[in-house]
């Protein structure tokens, strides 16, 4: 079921070819690419002409310097490695006051798998954070199985392991990121130190966005922590202010680490998250 939904969502968008520079630097149009001979737009090297080259491909100015003819090889788009992480803290299991409907974790892994399939269709190498990257149908099957069998942890929160970051990767971190914790800071610092870039996508339930509670309410986390109040209305303003501060902090730490921060609400279509991710991650 998860794989089928992800395939449908992925098919609605073009294959995703990843940006070659730091993500935060390519939100505006700009060049990308690696210095490998092949089809591309940015010049890299000359090579001697051979029988299959046409006159139009020969660089006559360079060739005039000697007795040989030369062709300018141009870069080609080579696969870049992307690593995806979805938070599995118990808090991601929140489904709203009724306990029904889609949970944050279910939406997060659907976004993640849809994105992974789009990147694989674009010829990129993809992995779960900390695991070996691969491409093609076999890797798509492997990642689909991993997301389809993943469960939640008993702890309220989950954090990416700094030792799992790899130089030059693009990382996609998806979680609610509601709790401030030095472990997330440690990962982002490690990523910045080794040239890893990427995005943080905060997935939230509408209850967490608008705080639609009033009167006497007992709040209980999925992990079992409780808080009771007789005036939930009075908490709303303080809660929303704290949420805004948390998002500002996440945006700032992401920017310092060369990453981009975004949000997604379960009330929004899945396509909105995927379109945003494509826009940030895609080569230009």
User: Does the pLDDT value for residue 241 go beyond 90?
Assistant: no
Asked whether the whole model's pTM tops 0.95, one would answer no
The answer to the question of residue 69 being in a domain is: yes
Residue 77, token pair as written in the block: 């788009």
Backbone angles phi, psi at 259, to 5 degrees: -120, 175
User: Does the pLDDT value for residue 221 go beyond 90?
Assistant: no
The whole-number pLDDT of residue 40 equals 41
64 and 85: one domain? no
The whole-number pLDDT of residue 239 equals 75
For residue range 149-170, list pLDDT tens digits in order.
999 998 888 999 999 999 989 9
62 and 158: one domain? no
Higher local confidence (pLDDT), 184 or 226: 184
67 and 90: one domain? no
Tell me the pLDDT band of 124, cut-offs 50, 70 and 90: very high
Higher local confidence (pLDDT), 72 or 123: 123
Residue 268, token pair as written in the block: 């929004």
The answer to the question of residue 67 being in a domain is: yes
Higher local confidence (pLDDT), 156 or 250: 250
Backbone angles phi, psi at 52, to 5 degrees: -85, -5
Task: Identify whether the C-beta of residue 18 lies closer than 8 Å to the C-beta of residue 80.
Answer: yes
69 and 85: one domain? no
117 and 246: one domain? yes
Question: How many other C-beta atoms can be found within 10 angstroms of the C-beta atom of residue 75?
Answer: 21
Higher local confidence (pLDDT), 264 or 215: 264
**Number of domains comprising the chain:** 2
User: 262: Cβ–Cβ under 8 A, 6 or more apart, which residues?
Assistant: 199, 200, 201, 202, 276, 277, 280
The answer to the question of residue 32 being in a domain is: no
140 and 271: one domain? yes
The answer to the question of residue 31 being in a domain is: no
For residue range 7-31, list pLDDT tens digits in order.
999 999 999 999 877 675 444 333 3
Q: By residue range, what is the domain housing residue 44? A: 37-75
99 and 126: one domain? yes
Sign, CA dihedral 185-190-192-196, equals negative
The whole-number pLDDT of residue 31 equals 34
For residue range 63-99, list pLDDT tens digits in order.
777 777 766 655 444 567 999 999 999 999 988 777 6
53 and 131: one domain? no
The whole-number pLDDT of residue 155 equals 86
Report the chain's terminal Cα–Cα distance, integer Å: 33
43 and 160: one domain? no
71 and 181: one domain? no
57 and 177: one domain? no
């Amino acid at each position: 079921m998860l794989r089928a939904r992800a395939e449908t969502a992925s098919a609605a968008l073009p294959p995703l070819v990843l940006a070659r520079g730091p993500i935060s630097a390519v939100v505006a149009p700009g060049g990308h690419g690696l210095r490998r001979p092949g089809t591309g737009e940015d010049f890299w090297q000359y090579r001697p002409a051979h029988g299959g080259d046409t006159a139009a491909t020969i660089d006559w100015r360079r060739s005039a310097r000697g007795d040989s003819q030369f062709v300018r090889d141009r870069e080609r788009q080579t696969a870049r490695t992307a690593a995806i992480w979805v938070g599995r803290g118990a808090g991601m299991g929140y489904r709203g006051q009724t306990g029904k409907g889609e949970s944050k974790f279910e939406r997060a892994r659907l976004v993640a798998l849809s994105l992974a399939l789009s990147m694989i269709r674009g010829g990129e190498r993809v992995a779960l954070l900390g695991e070996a990257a691969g491409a093609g149908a076999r890797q798509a099957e492997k990642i689909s199985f991993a997301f389809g069998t993943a469960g939640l942890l008993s702890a309220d929160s989950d954090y990416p392991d700094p030792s799992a970051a790899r130089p030059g990767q693009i990382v996609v971190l998806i979680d609610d990121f509601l709790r401030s914790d030095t472990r997330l800071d440690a990962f982002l610092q490690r990523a910045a130190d080794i040239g890893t870039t990427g995005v943080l996508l905060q997935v939230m339930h509408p209850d967490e966005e608008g705080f639609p509670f009033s009167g006497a309410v007992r709040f209980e986390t999925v992990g079992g922590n409780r808080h009771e109040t007789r005036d939930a209305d009075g908490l709303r303003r303080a809660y929303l202010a704290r949420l805004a501060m948390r998002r500002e902090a996440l945006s700032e730490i992401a920017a310092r680490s060369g990453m981009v921060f975004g949000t997604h609400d379960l009330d929004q279509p899945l396509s909105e998250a995927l379109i945003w991710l494509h826009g940030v991650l895609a080569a230009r």
